[in-house]
Amino acid sequence: MTHSSSTQAVPNISPVPRHIAIIMDGNGRWATKRFLPRVAGHGKGVEAVRTVIETCVERGVEYLTLFAFSSENWRRPAEEVSLLMRLFVTALEREVAKMHANGIRLKVVGDLSRFDARLQELIAAAERRTANNQRLTVTICANYGGRWDIMQAVGKMIAASPGATEFGEEQLSPYLAMAYAPEPDLFIRTGGEERISNFLLWQLAYTELYFTDTFWPDFDANALDTAIESYRQRERRFGRTSEQLVEKKKAS
């Protein structure tokens, strides 16, 4: 099923965001503040992931997308990168059975070719196992970059129409890594920074942005509810005027 594009048609809006995308930032600072090594923050961050997944299931969110490792995070010290990889492996080994039991479909998107064979196999097995689950789709963005996503989609789009020189948006979108999901309604970044850091560049065109100083390991059900409440207060106009929205409400 293909989802409609926010720039081509005004989407239907529901009070609970259908799709929440999160930059889970602040693990290192959370640990440093406690005189702990940065890795302790990443470990604690995995617990926050568990809580947020459970809360999304309870609130009826359909898609949750989590930025776990960016294409630029390879620039970090080698020990931190290898620790993050190990953490990813153990999280997959420990959590997938429970996710499957809870009706969660797991997807991992990004340039996975750079991961070692064992991790790639674990990812493929987890995706296969949970493929038919329908309660919540959790997408982990790993070695993901918004520019990588657009470029790989362009490559596939051109390969599918050899010789064509003009393309429309609707021809590109089916090749984006997350074509199976609607565009995010709500974007959350924890940890105080107010930037996109090469996350979903194309898909965030009309997403509501929410920034909080809370470090990711401290982000809990309450914090998620606060973000959803902020989202509910927004007027999503998609280019129209406020008056047009009032008219539409009266008519319905």
Q: Which residues are known catalytic residues?
A: 25, 73
Q: Which is nearer to ligand IPE, 21 or 56 (CB)?
A: 21
Among 17, 20, 21, 27, binds ligand IPE (CB under 6 A): 27
Q: Is 160 exposed, middle or buried (0-12, 13-18, 19+ CB in 10 A)?
A: exposed
Q: What does 202 bind: ligand IPE, Mg ion, none (CB cut-off 5 to 8 Å by kind)?
A: none
75-94 positions binding ligand IPE, by CB under 6 A = 84
11-50 positions binding Mg ion, by CB under 5 A = 25
How many residues bind ligand IPE, per CB under 6 A? 17
- CA–CA distance, 47 with 116 (Å, rounded to integer): 24
* Residue 219 is a binding residue for ligand IPE (CB under 6 A): no
* Residue 193 is a binding residue for ligand IPE (CB under 6 A): yes
Least distance (Å) from ligand IPE to the CB of residue 131? 25
Among 49, 68, 136, 223, binds ligand IPE (CB under 6 A): 68
Among 195, 237, 240, 248, binds ligand IPE (CB under 6 A): 195
Among 17, 20, 25, 208, binds ligand IPE (CB under 6 A): 25
Among the candidate windows 23-31, 90-98, 149-157, 219-227, which touches ligand IPE by CB under 6 A? 23-31
